[in-house]
Amino acid sequence: MSILQKISPLSRHMKPSAVGQNADTEKWVRILLEQKLKAEARGRQVGRSSDAEHDGMVDIRLAGPGEPKQPDEVFERLRWGGLFACVDPNPERVGKIMQAYDNKNGFVLEQGFDELWGGPLGLRIPGVTPRAYCFVARKTHLVPPGQVTDRFTFDVKLAEDDSQSSGFCVRKQVPTIDNLSRRLACKYPDLDLIDIRVRAEKLVNEIFPIFLTREAKALDKLQRTLPEAFRTRVPRPLRIVKNDKGFVTRLDMNWLRNGGQPITQIEFARQSLELLSMLHDHAKLMHLDLRPDNLVITPEGVGFIDFGSSAQIDEDLQASPVLHELFDQMMRTSHIQRVLGQMVENGEVTNEALAAVQGKADPSVDTFYLAVQINHPQTNPELERLIDYQPLGESARALESLTASILKPINPGLSDFKTAADILRGVNRIAQRFAG
């Protein structure tokens, strides 16, 4: 059995490409995988660049002769940190394509220009043994350079780090004033450029360092207070860089890389609520921004990332005028708060305890949104292939019923589900029912 058949659940069923009943293309792709990606691909999901556009994100995309190879054709189809590998018998073509991945377009070269030999038993006889050329690049950016998105306010990318087994760490840093000005100009095209510059300077010099400093402290606290088994499911701070005022402007963390064997929807719900219960009950910390983008699934289990909006449960945010203003604005404008407000207004949330935390920094904000998310586990495209989600299945319907009882209890003023631990017990009862 070849490595192509052993590597992962996806590659085991990987079919020849659409261009691709070409035996030469299939041969070189197989050789590329076996000779250059054997270790990296083990346990990972592998796809071809010519696969259907709707096949989702994978960890490795392979491109043989005649298949799509440009960065904009593969970027959105790779998970963060995923690899793109290209092979072609034409060295000039490979070299030209490789230039677009050499620290450009959100990629860095993992393995530079190299030869592949197609002879039996590894024979390499120039002029006789078939030969092709290849390179391997890694996706290090969350979004393509220059693209504006509402999801990310800081500059976040993978950075090389020899101290980590993966060879990379997550580097989160305050953006430059120029970069942030460009983002704001795209997002608010009607604003005066001088006004945009003033806003960017305030955010870069004052606001962002406050939140990054708070995140570094929150992550440090989690490593000290969470039970040991859960510490690998939140980022671990590695290094910080401070400005002359003592605020953090760069935070390096270990990389919680999405991947591993797919889990069931019930297991996704159970692990998410288990971790949230530990955050609230052991670390006394509320995340406050548990959007789909801030959940990961690693071999260690479901994890949470991006603690920049977090706060201690007993923290008096009103004691600091600056923090009071920042959190007040954040709780009025955050995505989760908007969703909660809309659902209350539409009658989808009648639970009085949940309705009462609109606009507030409260642990119930976390439990509310996680109760909603467990019914839509694949909203984050990075997780789509990592959760076995059957929307019409019995377990999905059972979780929907649980969420309904949380959001719209029979008695709106008296819910059985007040905490993450309460909801976790409900999920465990469902899991036991289907296990039996």
Are 348 and 387 within one domain?
yes
Among 255, 285, 316, give the residue marking a domain's end: 255
Are 26 and 112 within one domain?
yes
Counting Cβ atoms within 10 Å, is residue 359 exposed (0-12), middle (13-18) or buried (19+)?
A: middle
Do 67 and 19 contact (CB within 8 A), yes or no? Answer: yes
Nearest to 101 by CA among 176, 49, 52: 49
Nearest to 330 by CA among 171, 214, 156: 214
Do 8 and 386 contact (CB within 8 A), yes or no? Answer: no
- The contacts of residue 155 (CB under 8 Å, 6+ apart) are 171, 172, 173, 174, 175, 179
| pLDDT band for position 151 (cuts 50, 70, 90) | low
Are 157 and 124 within one domain?
no
- In a 3-state reduction of DSSP, which class is residue 139? strand
Nearest to 298 by CA among 46, 53, 81, 6: 81
Using left for φ > 0, alpha for ψ between -120 and 50, and beta otherwise, residue 119 falls in beta
Helical (H) or strand (E) element with 364: helix 363-373
Average pLDDT over residues 247-274: 96
Q: Within a 13 Å sphere around the CA of 84, how many CA atoms are in the beta-carbon half?
A: 33
Do 364 and 331 contact (CB within 8 A), yes or no? Answer: no
- Spell out the SS3 assignment of 153-221: CCEEEEEECCCCCCCEEEEEECCCHHHHHHHHHHHCCCCCHHHHHHHHHHHHHHHHHHHHHHHHHHHHH
Domain count, the chain: 3
Among 209, 228, 255, give the residue marking a domain's end: 255
* pLDDT of 378 over the 90 cut: no
Are 160 and 278 within one domain?
no
Are 54 and 192 within one domain?
no
Tell me the per-residue pLDDT of 155-172, one tens digit each, with 9 for 90 and over. 999 999 999 999 999 999
Amino acid identity of residue 382, one-letter, is E
Q: Higher-confidence residue: 374 or 9?
A: 374
Q: Using CA atoms, how far apart are residues 41 and 33, in angstroms rounded to an integer?
A: 8
Q: Using CA atoms, how far apart are residues 117 and 132, in angstroms rounded to an integer?
A: 7
Are 309 and 355 within one domain?
yes
pTM: 0.90
Q: Using CA atoms, how far apart are residues 96 and 114, in angstroms rounded to an integer?
A: 13
Counting Cβ atoms within 10 Å, is residue 23 exposed (0-12), middle (13-18) or buried (19+)?
A: exposed
Are 424 and 285 within one domain?
yes
Q: Which of 50-54, 131-135, 401-405 has the lowest mean pLDDT?
A: 50-54
- In a 3-state reduction of DSSP, which class is residue 37? coil
Tell me the per-residue pLDDT of 267-313, one tens digit each, with 9 for 90 and over. 999 999 999 999 999 999 999 999 999 999 999 999 999 999 999 99
Residue 295 forms beta bridges with which residues? 304
Are 364 and 406 within one domain?
yes
Are 272 and 302 within one domain?
yes
Are 396 and 296 within one domain?
yes
- Residue-level pLDDT at 7: 39
- In a 3-state reduction of DSSP, which class is residue 43? coil
Strands 248-254 and 237-242: antiparallel
Tell me the per-residue pLDDT of 197-250, one tens digit each, with 9 for 90 and over. 999 999 999 999 999 999 999 999 999 999 999 999 999 999 999 999 999 999
- Residue-level pLDDT at 150: 63
Tell me the per-residue pLDDT of 393-419, one tens digit each, with 9 for 90 and over. 999 999 999 999 999 999 999 999 999
Q: Which percentage of the chain shows pLDDT scores above 70?
A: 94
Are 335 and 428 within one domain?
yes
Kindly list the distances between the CA atom of residue 354 and the CA atoms of 286, 311, 368, in Å, as whole numbers in the listed order.
15, 18, 7
CA angle, residues 180, 236, 308, in degrees to nearest 5: 35
Q: Which percentage of the chain shows pLDDT scores above 90?
A: 79
- Domain of 86, CATH number, reads 3.40.50
Are 294 and 409 within one domain?
yes
Name the token pair of 111. Answer: 């393995």
Q: Using CA atoms, how far apart are residues 250 and 51, in angstroms rounded to an integer?
A: 38
- Domain of 325, CATH number, reads 1.10.510.10
CB neighbours of residue 332 within 10 Å: 13
Among 71, 105, 139, give the residue marking a domain's end: 139
Q: What is the mean pLDDT of the chain?
A: 91
Name the token pair of 320. Answer: 């600091």
Tell me the per-residue pLDDT of 311-365, one tens digit each, with 9 for 90 and over. 999 999 999 999 999 999 999 889 999 999 999 999 999 999 999 999 999 999 9
- Residue-level pLDDT at 152: 52
Domain coverage including residue 57: 3-139
